[in-house]
Structure 1
Amino acid sequence: MDSRETHMPHGVITEREKGEQVEKLVLPRTIHLVPMDYLDGFAVRPGFYEINGATAIPGGVNFTVYSHGATAIELLLFRREKTEPFAILPFPEHYRIGNVYSMIVFQLNIEEFEYAYRVDGPYEPGKGLVFDRNKYLLDPYAKAVTGQSQWGESLPSGQHYRARVVKDDFDWGDMGQPLLPMEDLIIYELHVRGFTKDPSSGVLHPGTFAGLMEKLPYLLELGVNVVELMPIFEFDEMQDYREVDGEKLYNYWGYNTVSFFAPNTSYTSSKEYNREGNELKNLIQVFNRHGIEVYLDVVFNHTAEGNENGPFFSFKGFDNNIYY
């Protein structure tokens, strides 16, 4: 072991908070790690295998993905709005433990790149294996998705979903959960866009998390203590888009998920580059302070990739048999 290297005191740390057992993954303020290899001009080393997705750490970014059937995985780095990667970093075989691939890439500024993957493996559709190393794939654990930030706009021709690394620095303060008894819940289910999109809502930011927060006095007046949000994850409203009698029909409700960990960027009132999710977190924080819990409506039994004839942009390419 290099004498300059100190182990990161990572892992799950248990804390006592208001009588509840809370598990948190804690990253230290300082990490002293040294590169072990160089790929396409970048210094790299094996990463932290228990941290899924892409996570900014002092000195670089930790990338971790999972695939049972893959034979090779490449990390692709892009400049914003560019269609081809400026760097391709294959995960060395010894960076794989079991079915988990993990790599730290040093000296990456999260505001200067987006990323995707390519995954190679057997192609035997009869066995559910549909690996295609030519496909650019969205990280299943992405916390921010590029490509559809404006409602009602499709991905430009020839482009594909990519991810951004999110800086997790939102200040939750001392916020706790109301933890209301089930028998006392008064639940208001709503669609974030539909609830305030019409001018009659009277909000400054219609169709967004901020617009919903403007309706807090109204919800309090109703006596609501739970707001259940229909899917707020990144989804493709343009899937099956059509016009009937001059009316534009979208896949409106959000049950065709593109990414389960990324809030829908069209639901924000302003751009949140590398801070995606802050407007949603602010909504949750403010509602909780006023005694209103926020529930999320989630459906895990299908995604926007559909069946075997549907699109191919993430889960299928990483491991069709595992995700489906």
Structure 2
Amino acid sequence: MTRYLIQRIGFAVLILFSLSVFVFVLFFVAPGDPARMIAGDKATETQLAQIRSNLGLDQPIYVQYGKFIAKAATGDLGFSYRNQQPVTELIVRRLPATISLVIGGVIFWLALGIPIGIMSARFPGGFRDRLGQGFILLGLSFPTFVLGMLSLYVFYFLPRKAGFMLFPPGGYKPFLDDPVTWAWHLFLPWTTLALVTAAIYARLTRGKLIEVLGEDYIRTARAKGLSEAKVVYKHGLRATLTPLITQLGADIALLLGGVIVIEQIYGLQGVGALAVQSVRNLDRPVIIGVVLMGGFFIVITNIIVDLLYAVLDPRVRGA
């Protein structure tokens, strides 16, 4: 178990190192003036000189990279000259909205997708299976932005036209200020994210569970007189957790890097919205910070998934 964990952490460090090298080469070694790229076309020569001094652009490449990675390791992701703020502060201020959206969305899509997948797998070819597959087809067919606009129209514009407010159109309210208002503003973004993603989990659960329920040990459990519910939930569902955890880890990591479409639709000023604004404004320090932060979340989430594997699979614990 310890050896396995050390190997996974070592691999994670290698991934982060590779990502940092890629980002550094892309923005600081590629042809062009890095100071001009960071400060923008309207920067004065005095500002450019100051930026070159701050970044050490007159020093050897390996020295520049050493300073770059040392600052990143301590949480210093640079300075946004367009916003006149440290990049870390910009990202940290946007993280609560993105984290709130992801946490609520995960709870909703797991609570919806897994039961639908189980229902379909227990009654393959039957009416309930067709209902489940219909949900999966609709969820996979609807683009996120279409479902988001439809939700706004049905649950915001129509009620407002009728003279009452059912749900707000968007915006983020801090959880600590008022948890009820926080959840009220996030309900539509949560359901939009959940309905699309739940279809993936329902399909994954259905496919894996149907495969598992055909195994010999499942037939043996039934022959021993175990109830169908116990066979499905204790023996069958446990075997489906590995692919579900793999999918969940990848989804959470990617979403924490910025739920771009949903944040744009509902006006949530999260990391995804910050990334879009930075690309539009060519604010390269912020782009670098968001990329590094997204890579960090992916690596950390994968380590957590590996730990869960060790808990679920005794063969991993013995490795």
TM-score by length of 2: 0.28
Q: Which has the higher strand share?
A: 1
Which structure has more RCO (C-alpha within 8 Å, separation ≥ 6)? 2
TM-score by length of 1: 0.28
Max radius of gyration: which structure? 2
